Amino acid sequence: MSFLRPKTKIDEGDTVIIFLGVNSMHSIQATPTVVNRKGEEVEHIFQTSFGALKVRSIIGLEYGNQVKLSKGWAYILQPNPQLWTQTLPHRTQIIYTPDISMIIHQLDLRPGSVIVESGTGSGSLSHFLLHAIKPSGRLHTFDFHEARAKQAQDEFQNHGLSEFVCVYNRDVCEFGFGTQLEGKVDAVFLDLPAPQLAVPHAVQVFKKQVLNICAFHAGGRFCSFSPCIEQSQRCCEALKNHGFTEIQSLEILQQENQVKTKSLSLINLDFVKQKKPLNSSTEEKQHLPSKDVIKVLTTFQPMTHTGHTGFLTFATLPPVFAR
């Protein structure tokens, strides 16, 4: 239940983050014992680069406490979507924070929003979406792989998020999102190899606005994540053919500017205004330019840049009367 709301103490069964450093974190479940490969129940001891941690010892402690390992120290943190993305078990390639922040912003998510996600995968984005739409929103997430859908459902249950999410095992490109979601969704997110096949089904699930007797599609926001530009192009064509507007594809590249103090040489050129001495070598040395050194705080780009992650295609489905 450690994802549901802020907590003070660690309870048995909570998912916790073992923080060793900015680039060294692990997620574990706070259980005193585990079952080994032989089916035997043994003491839960977690091995880290700074030594072993007896997990039983952290139950009942407050989050944020420093615990002693056999070769150093670690901090026990309460998980959040950002930390979970860096420590979760990878079942598939995942979407990271730079892309996720743009997705949540562009989909205009807020508490109470209803969103469909196709391509649950490892659940990285799902936890961010749930964090944005709680406590009155709802996430409907689909995955065609039965085992991955079951693992995601178990994770949501263990994290205390099951009341806000429904997990489905279905190929939405062929069978759609189901009649139970028609006219009930504010936003749609797709992470599929062929997103253009799911666009016609996405049109059907956006919310409807009832005016007098007739019902009109109120529309909503759409996003698709594609590693290749050809996938994004085919998705854009399908979106245009089905009445979507404000279609755009973005690529989010994270760049770190390094800040350093550099020493710069300054040359005094006043000597050029004076006549050069004819015979005196001593006077000639005295008129040589003087070199002063100053220290300047500068920023510059690193020699290597972060590689390509994927293309984000966004679009808006307007109401039927506005198309």
| Residue numbering of the annotated binding site for S-adenosyl-L-methionine | 122-125, 143, 191
Q: What is the DSSP letter of 257?
A: P
Report which of 226, 227, 314, 298 is spatially closest to residue 264, judged by C-alpha positions.
Answer: 298
Total length of the chain: 323
- d(Cα 234, Cα 139) in Å, to the nearest integer? 26
Angle between helices 97-106 and 124-133 in degrees, nearest 10: 40
Binding site, by residue number, is: 122-125, 143, 191
Residue 224 pairs in a beta bridge with: 190, 313
Q: How far apart are CA 126 and CA 162, in angstroms?
A: 12
Under a CB-based contact definition with an 8 Å cutoff, are residues 220 and 185 in contact?
yes
Q: What is the largest CA-CA distance in the chain?
A: 107
Cβ-contact 287, 277 below 8 angstroms: yes
CA–CA dist 51, 46 (Å, integer): 9
Label residue 20 exposed, middle or buried (CB < 10 Å: 0-12, 13-18, 19+): middle
